[in-house]
């Protein structure tokens, strides 16, 4: 048994793929007999220590979020908290999640200072040219220079992470996300007859540029104008769940094209509401992401028996075989064509049945399997010899001609800061 500390800025009550991943993985690791704790920053009145299902212990640190639900990168401010938690809980593996998470990167830094093996899971793809990507990639390079192992959720994600962080390929594993196929079981079969002449397309996503919402604003009016079926009597309606800065764009489109009765905006839904309030009400799930490392949403939709139409970007082509998905290019013309083809096939009942879809997801994306593969990574890094202080400093020094030496000096400063903390607040 090992004591695993999972760290990320993103956890419940915030909702998303990373949050779900942490919770589900933690539950399955505890089922395997390990002790698991989670560290995040506070959310509203959630401060201090809280307990979740199966006595999962969660530390909500009193650190104010700075940008996009992440804390300000300081290292020194979070180090006393992380040291205290790691030592008092007897942590043997530190597992950081998401390159967007400042707290996760600082936890990897602290684990290295305390000679605790560490793992990082990268959930996203990044570019190389814009300022945000350059800054994130630079921080990630420093974080992973002394991290024991890295996990990516797709092979495309692995290639992206290796290029961005310059970690050796043999120190990166691919372990996909998973879905609770029981939670996302199919609803009643939606068949077509003379009384039902509407195909429902559902969209569940954060309404941001990266998710291709600008494309959605052009696609919906085009599809709503069309008639489908052999007799041309079937129309298509949409249900959109999610919130974000691009919501106003969709609302303006609905107003301009008078689609109030054809496009329903549900707003943001909790993860446990997605099946009942969105997925089982649809026939087709549409994903228009411009970049994606894995995309759990399309797997959840498939588990519920929906036909999926998705852009073939990032790691998405690895997730589902063509039998269950229509791949399109991230352009309005390609998505309209692919979605129209999917609508016709749904009307003609040419798609796999809901039970077949759910069985595929159950066998292919199982949280217990993910936990066992992650456990194997933990066992491997715990057997490795701990690098010397000189080796760790050199790893940081070699990361860059200017910032590298600065980070190496910061590492040494934190190393001696640990001694000060040991003297002020000794932990026996």
Q: How would residue 165 be classed by pLDDT, with cut points 50, 70 and 90?
A: confident
- Per residue in 84-104, pLDDT (tens digit) is 999 999 999 999 999 888 999
**Which pLDDT score is estimated for 125?**
81
Cα separation, 260 vs 237, whole angstroms: 10
Q: pLDDT value at position 191?
A: 67
Residue 193 — very low, low, confident or very high, per pLDDT cuts 50/70/90?
A: low
pLDDT at 323: 92
Domain boundaries defined on the chain: 3-178+367-424, 198-364
Instruction: Name the pLDDT band for 113 (thresholds 50, 70, 90).
Output: very high
pLDDT per position as a tens digit, 169-192: 999 999 999 998 899 999 887 666
Provide the pLDDT for residue 115. Answer: 95
Cβ count near 131 (within 10 Å): 7
CATH number for the domain running over 198-364: 3.40.50.2000
Q: How confident is the model at residue 261 (pLDDT cuts 50, 70, 90)?
A: very high
Burial (CB count <10 Å: 0-12, 13-18, 19+), residue 93? buried
Which pLDDT tens digit goes with each residue over 278-318?
999 999 999 999 988 888 899 999 999 999 999 999 899 99
pLDDT of residue 131: 74
Sheet with 118-122, strands from edge to edge, namely: 48-52, 56-61, 35-41, 3-7, 93-97, 118-122, 149-152, 172-174
CA dist list (Å): 195 to 34, 147, 172, 191, 192: 54, 60, 54, 10, 8
- Give the CATH H-level superfamily of domain 3-178+367-424: Glycogen Phosphorylase B; (3.40.50.2000)
Does the fold of domain 198-364 match that of domain 3-178+367-424? yes
Q: What is the rounded CA–CA span in Å between residue 62 and residue 166?
A: 33
Q: What local confidence, expressed as pLDDT, does residue 194 receive?
A: 52
pLDDT beyond 90 at 16: no
- Report the 10 Å Cβ neighbour count for 212: 25
């Amino acid at each position: 048994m090992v004591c695993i500390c999972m760290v990320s800025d993103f956890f419940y009550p915030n909702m998303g793929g990373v949050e779900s991943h942490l919770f589900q993985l933690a539950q399955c690791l505890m089922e395997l007999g390990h002790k698991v704790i989670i560290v995040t920053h506070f959310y509203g009145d959630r401060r201090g220590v809280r307990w979740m299902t199966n006595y999962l212990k969660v530390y909500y640190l009193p650190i104010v979020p700075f940008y996009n639900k992440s804390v300000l990168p300081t290292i020194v401010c979070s180090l006393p908290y992380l040291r205290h938690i790691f030592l008092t809980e007897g942590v043997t593996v530190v597992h950081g999640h998401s390159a967007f998470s400042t707290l996760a990167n600082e936890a990897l830094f602290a684990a290295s200072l305390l000679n605790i093996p560490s793992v990082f899971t990268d959930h996203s793809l990044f570019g190389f040219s814009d300022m945000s990507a350059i800054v994130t990639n630079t921080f990630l390079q420093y974080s992973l220079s002394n991290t024991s192992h890295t996990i990516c959720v797709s092979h495309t994600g692995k290639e992206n992470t290796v290029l961005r962080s310059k970690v050796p390929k043999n120190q990166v594993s691919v372990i996909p996300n998973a879905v609770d196929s029981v939670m996302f079981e199919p609803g009643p079969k939606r068949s077509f007859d003379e009384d039902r002449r509407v195909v429902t397309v559902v969209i569940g996503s954060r309404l941001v540029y990266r998710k291709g919402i600008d494309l959605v604003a052009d696609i919906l009016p085009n599809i709503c104008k069309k008639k489908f079926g052999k007799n041309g009597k079937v129309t298509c309606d949409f249900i959109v769940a999610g919130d974000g800065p691009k919501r106003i764009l969709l609302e303006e489109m609905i107003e301009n094209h008078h689609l109030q009765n054809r496009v329903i905006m549900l707003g943001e839904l909790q993860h446990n509401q997605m099946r009942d309030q969105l997925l089982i009400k649809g026939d087709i799930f549409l994903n228009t992401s411009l970049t994606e490392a894995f995309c759990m949403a399309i797997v959840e939709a498939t588990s519920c028996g929906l036909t999926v139409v998705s852009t073939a970007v990032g790691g998405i082509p690895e997730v589902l075989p063509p039998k269950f998905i229509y791949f399109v290019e991230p352009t309005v013309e390609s998505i309209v064509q692919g979605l129209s083809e999917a609508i016709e096939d749904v009307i003609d009942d040419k798609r796999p049945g809901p039970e077949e879809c759910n069985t595929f997801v159950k066998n292919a994306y199982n949280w217990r399997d993910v936990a066992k593969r992650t456990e194997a990574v933990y066992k491997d890094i715990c057997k490795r010899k701990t690098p010397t202080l000189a080796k760790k400093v050199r790893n940081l020094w070699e990361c860059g001609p200017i910032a590298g030496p600065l980070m190496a000096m910061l590492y040494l400063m934190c190393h001696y800061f640990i001694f000060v903390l040991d003297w002020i607040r000794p932990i026996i």
